Structure 1
Amino acid sequence: MGDTYEEIPRVELTPEAALLLRRLSEAHGPLMFHQSGGCCDGSAPMCYPAGEFRTGASDVLLGELAVDGVAQPVEFWMSRSQYEGWRHTRLTVDVVPGRGSGFSLEAPEGVRFLIRSRVIDG
């Protein structure tokens, strides 16, 4: 028999974030997140059209987020340097009122994505 251990997802969405991603996907097509860990807005997850932000060896794919009504999962990438500090956390992408980065797709909506985290074992 196979291993019955089910890995805890590293990243998930609030219902509000999923709803916003569905709207953004309708307007922009497939999406992705990247969280760089830089100063200012770099510490917030940035939403881009899929493939618009180039990822590489300095990035970690934390998960693919399934969103009802969206054909393609939304990949969530994080810079490896930030991941080293956050590897023992479970991240939840949420959305709150306010202005985020002008480069992230939600900026014109008057809201911004943010990360909520909690420590996990393992």
Structure 2
Amino acid sequence: MTDLPLQVMATLPALQLIETLQARHGDLLFHQSGGCCDGSSPMCFAQGDFIVGDRDVRMGEIGGAPFYISPAQFEYWKHTQLIIDVVPGRGGMFSLENGEGVRFLVRSRLFSDEEFAQLQAAGRV
């Protein structure tokens, strides 16, 4: 069996920030909503501070933190691998990196036809 391509992954700077936030806040989770308040920034929460919707899709984990996405956003992004990075700036108003001088950012790349077929065969898209 071939390993499935990751649907979400994180850069080293993002993993380092996640580690810092975990030390401060405990177990974390991410949610990518595409909502109105903070645009399409991935939001980082302490587990228990955000209720994941029944239809939200768990795309994987980054730095040990589950990463969820709203169904509408998943439909839009299902052909891509999400790459969570960190850039200078202000974090989302409700996201734990707010005040750190950096924010999480989504980068992406399209899956190859072969990768997407593997995900389809596994029922992941």
Per the normalisation by structure 1, the TM-score is 0.87
The reply on whether 1:33 has 2:30 as its aligned counterpart is yes
Structure 1 runs not aligned, ≥5 long: 68-72
Q: Distance in 2 between matches of 1:94 and 1:10?
A: 14
2:109 counterpart SS class: strand
The reply on whether 1:91 has 2:82 as its aligned counterpart is yes
Partner of 1:46: 43
Equivalent pairs counted in the alignment come to 113
How far residue 40 of structure 1 moved from its aligned partner, in angstroms, is 5.3
Partner of 1:77: 68
How far residue 51 of structure 1 moved from its aligned partner, in angstroms, is 2.6
How far residue 42 of structure 1 moved from its aligned partner, in angstroms, is 3.4
1:82 counterpart SS class: helix
- 1:35–1:42: 8 Å Cα contact kept in structure 2? no
| Equivalent position to 1:6, from 3, 8, 23 | 3
The reply on whether 1:61 has 2:58 as its aligned counterpart is yes
- % same residue: 51
The alignment yields a C-alpha RMSD, in angstroms, of 1.1
Per-residue CA distance 1:58-104 (angstroms, 9 max, x = gap) = 31000022x3xxxxx20000000110000000011000000121210
2:76 counterpart SS class: helix
How far residue 5 of structure 1 moved from its aligned partner, in angstroms, is 1.5
Per the normalisation by structure 2, the TM-score is 0.85
Of stretches 34-43 and 17-26 in structure 1, the one that deviates more from structure 2 is 34-43
Alignment-mate amino acid for residue 108 of structure 2: S
Q: Distance in 1 between matches of 2:2 and 2:48?
A: 32
